Structures are given as C-alpha cells and as structure tokens.
Structure 1
C-alpha cells in the first residue's frame, strides 16, 4: 500500500493517492487556520457542535476557498453512526446517512470526523466517488462493503479501477474498548495488552480489509499515518478532548 504522505495546504492535507489525479478534488482538513476559540480552536468545520455558528461558517468559507470548491456544490449528511448509503444527485444537506456516493461532476461529498474513520474512494473507470464515515458501529456493520456494493449497482464500479484513502482517526494504541465491543471485531483487528488485559481495536485495518476484499489493489490504497489522539495538536479527537472539540471534514469530488 502507498504511504499516506500528503501535500500540505493551509487548512488541509491532500492524500498522496489522489494528488496526481487532476480531475479529483480530495482533502482532509486539519484543525489549523480557523477563527474558532478554545475548545474548538481553530478550524472547526462541524455544524453540530456547540461552537459559535458564525465561526463555523467562516471556517468553512476559508476551507472551501482554499480547496477551490464552491460551498454551494457541497453535499453532506447528518451522520448517525449507521450504514445507510445515499446516491447523491446534487448538493445539499441530508439526514441519516453515513456514506455518500455520486458520479455527478462538481458535486463534492464530505463527512465530518473527530476519531471515526473517513474513507474516500474514486472509481477511475466510471468516474464516481464516495465519502464514508466509519465509527466502530459502522465498521462492524459493514459500511465500506455496503458503499462499494452501492457504487457497483449504481455505476458499475469494480475494485481494480478504484483508488481509496483510509483517513486519520483514533489509532490502535488509543482505541480501548470493552469486551462487548471487542467481541464484534475479528481477532486480526484486536490487540490485548498482556499486562493490563485491556483491549484495543485497529479501525484503520478493519476498514482497509473490505477495500482489499472488493478487489482494490493494495498499491491503490493509501492509509493515513496520522492519529487524532497522538497528533491531537493537528487533529480533533472526541475521546482525547472528552467530547469538547471540533470536527474535521474529509471531502472528495470530481471537477468537470
């Protein structure tokens, strides 16, 4: 798999897997460059936080302007940690979906995260994209598989012509879970500390496997090396900041 080395922008990083594909706009925001005050400092892009809405609006304006995207062409959903997938035919704000897919040019999809995994997919042959929000519930519920199957049904997507990015999230060293959560994950994604007997889950690996199983070559998958917890100075972490924090956006779309 490719390293996640990214091009740094003022407010975001571009996953290396998409950097040379000029028709694709893809980025993962950081927490830098905005106007929000503590505890949302500073580029909080989450509209469902307790931040000043005017600050979030300004942060979003800065982010989209730096990305070269018209915010009126943006599509997102109020996420519910589920597995519903929406085929987007135009920009707007939707309700109850954790994955969005489209083949409409100049319609940019986004998911908000602050520990959960953002996954971005580009189908080069059929010119389609997906933005996925995978928390632990969505992960065990198979949201990546359901999204890829929805792309296959809607656009004829197959793995061999896809490129994917598994984004910045809570890392395996920090994602401690109880046995009731751990039992829902395959053994290959669990680590039990031999001294404390605490259980940890690797969400990046758990969401990479269905990409590979779908047939996406490992050379066409990039995984972020960053952690929302270990790199909390650059990214928001709901867990590390005890729920009082902002949100990042992971965005993907096709330029016409």
Structure 2
C-alpha cells in the first residue's frame, strides 16, 4: 500500500501500489481495475483490502467507468458514478477514486467549500482538458480555483512517454506544454507538465505531485512496461 498524504484541512489522499493483493500474474497482485481483464471477484477482494488498509469503507468509494474522455460527473452516492473521467462531490462521507497504470491521476479539494474532485488524465484526456473541466465542475458546486489544492499522482514521465510526432503535436495543440523530447531523443508527451499548465490557467496555484514515473517504478502498475497489467488507485477523502 501507499502512504497517506495530508493535503490539509482534513483532506487525505493515498496512492496504492502493486503488492498486497490476491491477483495472479500478469495482474499481480493488488489490481483494483475491473476493466483490466482480471477476475472480477479477485478485483473486488483487492478493493476491500485496499480500503481496509487505509481505514476506509468500500461502501463509501465512488468509482468511474473511465474511457479517456474529458467528461466530469457529480457524485451524490457511492458506487459507480457512470462513464466519465472526472468526478466531483460535496458529500463529506464519499471517497473518490481514480484508476491508472501510466495515465495521470488528478485529485483536487476545496476544503473550505467542502468540494472534492478526482480525474483520470490520460493522453486523450490531457489533450481535451479534463483537469480544467474538473476545476470548472468543482466551481459549479461552490469551489473557488484559488482555494483548490491539487495532488497529481504517479504517471509515465515525459522522458519515457514516446509517441509518434503527429500524436505529440495533436496532444499539444491546445496545451503546448504537453510536447517534449524523450531521453531517446524522440517525440514525447509530458502529461504532468501539461496538466500543471492547464490547472494554473484555470486559476489553481497549490499543485503538488507524487513525481514517480510508473514505467520506471516497479512498485506501480505500468501498461507500457507490462501490458496486460493491473491498475492502481489514487483515493481522495475527508476525515
């Protein structure tokens, strides 16, 4: 399991890691992704384990059916919120989850307004501005961008995320900060830099990051390194 991160004002975040669950290879072992190809019962058992280790109740967690969109929904109940890549809630008892295995988890909180948000910003979600949409949706629930604290979970880094030049240019069309050169000297995408720029343009100033590269960190799932593979979760909740 990962560590619990204190974001202040009673808001906590945590990123799970690969080990401590019951999934067999290639999903070994704490796979939390139902859409990964793993056995459903095994994934649900892993979700129970992850929640218990964090002192959370699985019945409080909100899960997205993530499809690499820029859509954001409002959660008023635990469980599946629907097909989206961003979710916002004002319910103080709900826990928001974002699944990833190279994409960038975005966790956001305006503790004063009592608004939490979580997003899954993959290459397409980054290109289409899901993080900025998350901030907008939070504002629609009473948050203020200048009060929002954002925690960016682990993702594949720009030095490792090699893509064709056309794909890099498409991703960077609206966010130039997405374009980078990998360590191999090839075209790349830097999702962390892009999302940070999008958040700053949306008025968010308090942005923190895990900083780990999923491809380079064997304790995390990475689709680029080990497809097929499992998914880790980034959780956000209020105490």
TM-score bucket (shorter structure): over 0.9
Q: Tell me the alpha carbon deviations over residues 86-115 of structure 1, each in whole angstroms, 9 at most, x when there is no partner.
A: 011111213311000001011111111001
Is contact 1:164-1:221 (8 Å) kept?
yes
Is contact 1:32-1:42 (8 Å) kept?
yes
Among 151, 159, 163, the residue aligned to 2:149: 163
For 1:248, the equivalent position in structure 2 comes to 232
Give the CA RMSD over aligned residues: 1.7
Which whole-Å CA distance do the structure 2 matches of 1:107 and 1:183 have between them?
38
For 2:57, the equivalent position in structure 1 comes to 70
| Shift of residue 74, structure 1, vs aligned partner | 1.1
Is contact 1:84-1:97 (8 Å) kept?
yes
Stretches of structure 1 lacking an aligned partner (at least 5 in a row): 1-10
For 1:14, the equivalent position in structure 2 comes to 4
User: How many aligned residue pairs are there?
Assistant: 236
- TM-score if structure 1 supplies the norm length? 0.87
For 1:210, the equivalent position in structure 2 comes to 198
User: Relative to 1, partners in 2 of residues 1:149 and 1:37: Cα closer, same or farther, differing over 3 Å?
Assistant: same
Q: What SS is found at the alignment partner of 2:33?
A: coil
For 2:162, the equivalent position in structure 1 comes to 176
1:91-102 equivalence runs, <5 A: 91-102=78-89
User: Relative to 1, partners in 2 of residues 1:193 and 1:88: Cα closer, same or farther, differing over 3 Å?
Assistant: closer
Residue 52 in 1 paired to residue 39 in 2? yes
Is contact 2:60-2:93 (8 Å) kept?
yes
Stretches of structure 2 lacking an aligned partner (at least 5 in a row): none
Among 224, 230, 235, the residue aligned to 1:239: 224
Q: Tell me the alpha carbon deviations over residues 30-67 of structure 1, each in whole angstroms, 9 at most, x when there is no partner.
A: 11211212111111111112222232122111100011
